[in-house]
């Protein structure tokens, strides 16, 4: 997602109120992963093609040929930006076909009985429904746009296509562990859902964990992933106090496993090198009553990160990292 817009200014790198305790917690999870990443980078490795993430929304950019589909997805991303810039056109074909929409039913694995909600950020068809996604909804602390188009690579591949592809891969991996998995949208809606409904879907499913998948739209040279966790909010319909601590634990586990699985480094522009950011302005987090995090997998507007995000085998690694983090969190 891109952070620009009317009531959504780009967050300035700052010290999170949870920075000290989170940094200590992450120290227990990320060191080995970062060491592995350092060795990985030193020997010239990169998840597939290597490449930085993207930034702001591509204005009317049309996607080039579909990105690599490599890395089968085994069997078978509300990061709320303000609307207000032109929308990228949808990809002419799916980036890959990682998993059918009828992934295996939850089995008897270690996550049997657990419910995970996956929120693929944005919707490939949002650009066709400007009036609907621009209408304001109540997110507890304020009113904001229902949804946005998301960002895109410089070549025009939409964030919404990326998030849905990774969501399918992640769903398959979690169902193989026995979890019951629900997506907030599966390419089966004409637009949205709005950010308040995305949170409500997780709440009504009584999810044991929820994750919103995104890719950032920051400036070229800004690279790496970051995980966004809810800060303490108690205002209007928003009350995150009960989920701040478990969401922080979920975020830490996802970040540590994402590093190990992908070889990607934490963001070099947010999170003080931890890959962890706390925010109190995202409706999808503020309205959640279940443990929930957002993950910005990379920057679509940076060429090097974009090369990763458009690689099917790297997307499979990204899904694997998220899955391992969620499994670790749910098993305790």
Catalytically active residues, by annotation: 296
DSSP 132-198: HHHSEEE-SSSEEES-----B-TT--BHHHHHHHHHHHHHHHHHHTT-EEEES-SS-SSS---HHHH
Continuous segment of H or E residues that includes residue 211: strand 209-216
The helix (run of H) or strand (run of E) holding residue 32 is: helix 31-42
User: At residue 25, what are phi and psi to the nearest 5 degrees?
Assistant: -65, -40
Task: Please tell me the distance from the alpha carbon of residue 310 to that of residue 322, in angstroms, as a whole number.
Answer: 17
d(CA 114, CA 208): 6
Task: List the one residue out of 139, 118, 231 whose CA is nearest residue 194.
Answer: 139
Grouping H, G, I as helix, E, B as strand and the rest as coil, residue 116 is strand
Q: In angstroms, what CA-CA distances link 274 with 248, 267, 299?
A: 13, 8, 16
């Amino acid at each position: 997602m891109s952070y620009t817009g009317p009531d959504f200014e780009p967050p300035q790198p700052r010290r999170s109120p949870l920075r000290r305790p989170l940094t200590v917690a992450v120290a227990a999870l990320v060191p080995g992963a970062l060491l592995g990443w350092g060795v990985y980078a030193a020997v010239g490795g990169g998840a597939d093609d290597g490449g930085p993430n993207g930034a702001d929304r591509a204005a009317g950019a049309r996607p080039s040929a579909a990105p690599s589909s490599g890395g089968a997805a085994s069997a078978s991303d509300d990061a709320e930006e303000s609307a207000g810039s032109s929308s990228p056109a949808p990809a002419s074909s799916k980036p890959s076909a990682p998993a059918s929409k009828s992934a295996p039913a939850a089995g008897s694995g270690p996550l049997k009985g657990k419910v995970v909600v996956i929120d693929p950020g944005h919707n490939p068809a949002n650009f066709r429904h400007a009036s609907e996604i621009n209408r304001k909804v109540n997110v507890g602390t304020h009113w904001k746009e229902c949804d946005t188009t998301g960002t895109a690579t410089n070549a025009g591949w939409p964030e919404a296509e990326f998030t849905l592809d990774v969501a399918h891969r992640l769903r398959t991996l979690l169902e193989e562990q026995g979890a019951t998995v629900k997506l907030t949208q599966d390419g089966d809606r004409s637009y949205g859902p709005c950010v308040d409904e995305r949170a409500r879907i997780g709440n009504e499913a009584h999810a044991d964990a929820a994750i919103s998948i995104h890719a950032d739209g920051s400036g070229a040279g800004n690279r790496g992933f970051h995980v966004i966790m809810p800060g303490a909010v108690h205002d209007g319909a928003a009350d995150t106090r009960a989920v701040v601590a478990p969401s922080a634990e979920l975020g830490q586990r996802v970040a540590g496993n994402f590093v190990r699985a992908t070889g990607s480094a934490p963001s070099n522009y947010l999170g003080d090198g931890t890959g962890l950011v706390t925010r109190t302005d995202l409706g999808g987090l503020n309205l959640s009553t279940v443990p929930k995090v957002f993950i910005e997998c990379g920057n679509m507007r940076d060429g090097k990160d974009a090369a990763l995000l458009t690689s099917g085998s790297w997307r499979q690694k990204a899904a694997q990292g998220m899955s391992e983090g969620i499994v670790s969190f749910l098993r305790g």
